[in-house]
């Protein structure tokens, strides 16, 4: 855990952010500035800066992020209508919080 990292603080229960789902590996919460009716963030408890910093030891984290996102898409009723899963990578890729996270965006009509 990095003490100056907002997503570390959220993932370790140090804020009042509502956690929608938690596993041993990750937490899920709503994006504070949603870009769509459904905008969730899937955040590993381990501090990893970005996709660039993943190692082969992190493969289970990555697959769990996607599998839990798939489940939460269903729970939020966007499985059939469709959704985007997105990683922003580093500044040029639009990354603002330098703790790896997967965006789930959907729910447009
Ligand atoms: P990114 O541009 O991929 O780094 O996305 C970071 C996302 O985190 C943005 O969509 C922000 O709105 C969101 N965000 C930042 N701080 C918080 C917070 N405290 N709670 C929920 N979402 C946040
Ligand atoms: Zn962090």
What are 53-99's pLDDT values in tens digits? 999 999 999 999 999 999 999 999 999 999 999 999 999 999 999 99
Predicted pLDDT of residue 27: 98
For tokens 């919460």, what's the residue?
29
Catalytic: which of 12, 101, 103, 109? 101
pLDDT beyond 80 at 109? no
Predicted pLDDT of residue 52: 98
Q: How high is the mean pLDDT of the chain?
A: 97
Q: Which ligand is nearest to the CA of 2?
A: 2
Predicted pLDDT of residue 1: 87
| CA 90-10-108 angle, 5° bins | 65
| CA 28-30-83 angle, 5° bins | 85
Asked if 101 is an active-site residue, the reply is yes
Predicted pLDDT of residue 12: 97
Predicted pLDDT of residue 26: 98
Give me ligand 2 centre to Cα 95, in Å: 13
Phi, psi of 4 (to 5 degrees): -95, 10
- Give the model confidence (pLDDT) of 21-63 as tens digits: 999 999 999 999 999 999 999 999 999 999 999 999 999 999 9
Rounded Cα gap, residues 109 and 95, in angstroms: 27
């Amino acid at each position: 855990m990095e003490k100056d990292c907002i997503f570390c603080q959220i993932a370790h229960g140090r804020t009042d952010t509502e956690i929608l789902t938690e596993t041993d590996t990750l937490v899920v919460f709503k994006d504070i500035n949603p870009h769509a009716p459904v905008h969730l963030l899937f955040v590993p408890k381990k501090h990893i800066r970005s996709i660039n910093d993943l190692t082969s030891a992190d493969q289970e984290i990555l697959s769990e992020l996607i599998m839990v996102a798939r489940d939460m898409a269903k729970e939020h009723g966007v499985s059939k209508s469709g959704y985007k899963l997105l990683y922003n990578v580093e500044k040029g890729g639009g990354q603002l919080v330098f703790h790896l996270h997967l965006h789930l965006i959907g729910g447009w009509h």
